[in-house]
A and B are shown apart, each in its own frame.
Chain A
């Protein structure tokens, strides 16, 4: 008995369920890689003149850590510098989503039990998921290869790009297949597969930025993402690394099937995790913080990294200015009174503020999630007054975003002090600039609170509002919209800091709007039925 009977029908079923996810993801990756490469190439008709300034911008440790090293002194390499590794990470995520979804998630939700009762072999679900994941990776990699060639990039390099993606993507098909065997929950699978991805990314980043003579260089080779990176498309084009990827893929799959044969349906190889028998949560605020803990920690790390990147890039921005055309371009995009470096900071900080607002909205809308899940009822049937419960969520969201922006400013300032030589001054300037965005961030949170309190069914609209605010605030002027319209966005009223004028009046108005909206939301929530509709 091979235990594989029924694989084909399961595969058809899985492919049907993913018929939107896989093609759109693949297409998006192709468009991003080929499109951005083509745009870059079009920007520099004179290749030889472009290489020096581009290299000046791209070759620095912060960017190397993020995107991997530059593979060669060619326009093709520069044009794909930012997309190859990031695209590959997304491809790994796609592989992970597909494989997890049709293995552990199905099993956890009990659907495989139904299937298991039919004429389906024991190994068939894993085999079908792996086949679909593999097809998604190969299809995306080949399409991207074709897209890159069509965009006018070097043929051999483009094939190497496809190979590099296949190495990384297939490895994650295997990693996820193994991860799905380890724990009994889909969440556990996510932990292992995504944790491994983060570790792989980190290892190659450490290896890439290590000094040439340091043994740390070898860390890159420990990472499957490093193998893909070492294919070096548009550079060394090391096709032989495909063999390494395929060996890893095969080994992981054998491992996954062996592990699967050693466990029961629904169980994991590892014992399920237990929690404490006694609790230490004594108040609704403690509960709110506990629920926000994981999210906040993740965002905190992201903002520290963002701060580090922004802070260390400033020096490169400065040197970039030696090229007058780019300085002109930047000035057109920013339009600040300050120096170009300040414009750069202000732009990055405003984008970060929108991200912080997204976090704030996700935290405050937990009020509604708790309500619809039925957990709010349990809390509010205890001695916790509804208004306090809501206020605590609101305060955690606002304070959380404040901490994030502050930490972005401090980290960026600390790293920028290498350029300015004034530690306290840099930190003060940039954390001040980062904190100056908070009134707009809080307006977004408070708008979500209004929806939760007054129109709970439309809580999700707060995301649309954020996108509208972002679009109006960032591109309103570019789109030539009248200032009345773009002025609807709180982000349009932020001062251009550092460097620009502070806008105390506008900030106070924004704070007032935020306070008013928060009050309306809280009062609405206090008055209405719970659970609502």
Chain B
């Protein structure tokens, strides 16, 4: 499988702020790749470097097989970008902006443009000045999705969309992927990430924390376990097991959380004490991300 985006050991400082500190990112061709991380983690900075808008201090970047700073014109004909904070020219109508951005990219698909306007229920004759935040995002999305490109780079593109429009957005992005396109999607909306992304990369403070499919990530996260046992168990009985934390033992009852990878070992050990009841809750997506987002210092006892 080929990579649409390949970033290795990317570094970027703004004055004294280390925005990127050795970031790696790999997006395969044909996938929807979620790009996640807490505020200020460096997502937008990475995207701007990918677009050649900013220059990295060091590191290697390859975009659609080219160099984002050298091959601007050819690369940008092959991708569309939707920024998080969509700013439009107040005097132009939405339709004018869509056509302008499409033309600057090398033309748009008329049929798709009409269809997207319809699906997003966007009135293209209104002046940009009068659009709400969600409608401004729709303008940028219609322009991006109706261009004939291979790669979509979306930086929090749906923060202003209502749930109905969010569904339209997901459908359109899936259609794009099914047509062979690649998507890099930065988002804070977990439902969106869960329903759309084939793989995700989580970054924090300019460094990778995790990347993989959601089920791989789930595997890394902790499962909550509660067990009622026939024979009492002591904390020392479990001391040699790795990945078990927050252990609370009251006589015949046990509660803990365990890294999902070590769940099997824990159950096996508890089996020796005779399991009478067992509850086990896999991590919710929220828990999963909270855990990854939290900086070690702030994480505190669980």
Contacts and interface: CB of A to CB of B under 8 A. Distances in A.
Say whether A associates with B: yes
Interface of A: 184-185, 187, 272-284, 287, 290-291, 294, 373-375, 377-386, 527-531, 533
B127 A281 contact: no
Given A374-B85, A381-B76, A382-B105, A278 B95 contact: yes
Contacts of A533: 14
Given A278-B124, A281-B96, A381-B153, 13 more contacts: A272-B126, A275-B92, A279-B97, A279-B98, A282-B103, A283-B103, A287-B89, A374-B87, A378-B88, A379-B101, A382-B101, A527-B55, A529-B54
Contacts of A272: 126-127, 130
Interface string B67-83: 00000111011011101
Nearest to B72: A385
A226 B73 CA distance: 58
Interface residues of B, number: 42
B101 A378 contact: yes
Contact of A529 (B53, B88, B140): B53
A274 B72 contact: no
Contact of A381 (B51, B100, B129): B51
A259 B14 CA distance: 53
B99 to A, nearest CB: 3
B83 A374 contact: yes
Contacts of B79: 381
Given A274-B125, A279-B100, A386 B95 contact: no
A383 B104 CA distance: 6
B106 interface: yes
Nearest to A379: B104
Contacts of B140: 378
B76 A281 contact: no
Contact of A185 (B74, B80, B88, B129): B129
A279 B96 contact: yes
Contacts of B86: 374, 378
A276 B97 CA distance: 10
A375 B95 contact: no
B137 interface: no
A30 to B, nearest CB: 37
Given A373-B87, A375-B87, A383-B73, A283 B104 contact: yes
A382 B104 contact: yes
Best-surrounded residue of A272, A276, A277, A290 (most CB of chain B within 10 A): A277
Contacts of B81: 377-378, 381
16 contacts: A272-B130, A274-B126, A275-B92, A276-B125, A278-B99, A278-B124, A279-B96, A284-B104, A373-B87, A374-B87, A375-B88, A381-B51, A381-B76, A382-B105, A383-B74, A383-B77
A468 B65 CA distance: 50
B100 A281 contact: yes
B135 interface: no
Interface of B: 14, 48, 51, 53-55, 72-74, 76-77, 79-81, 83, 85-89, 91-93, 95-101, 103-106, 124-127, 129-130, 140, 153
A381 B153 CA distance: 10
Given A275-B125, A283-B104, A386-B72, A377 B53 contact: yes
Contacts of B92: 275, 279, 281, 290
Given A374-B85, A374-B87, A377-B53, A382 B76 contact: yes
A291 B83 contact: no
B53 A274 contact: no
Nearest to A187: B129
A527 B129 CA distance: 32
A287 B54 contact: no
A275 B95 contact: yes
A280 B126 CA distance: 16
A273 B128 CA distance: 11
A93 B217 CA distance: 63
A278 B73 contact: no
A533 B41 CA distance: 17
A276 B104 contact: no
Nearest to B93: A275
Contacts of A375: 87-89
B87 A384 contact: no
Given A185-B129, A383-B104, A277 B55 contact: no
Contacts of B95: 275-279
Contacts of B89: 287, 291, 375
A278 B127 contact: no
Contact of A277 (B80, B83, B93, B103): B93
A450 to B, nearest CB: 20
A366 to B, nearest CB: 11
A185 B129 CA distance: 9
A370 to B, nearest CB: 9
A184 B130 CA distance: 9
Contacts of A382: 76, 101, 104-105
A276 B105 contact: no
A528 B52 CA distance: 10
B171 to A, nearest CB: 24
Nearest to A388: B73
A379 B86 CA distance: 12
A277 B80 CA distance: 21
A276 B86 CA distance: 20
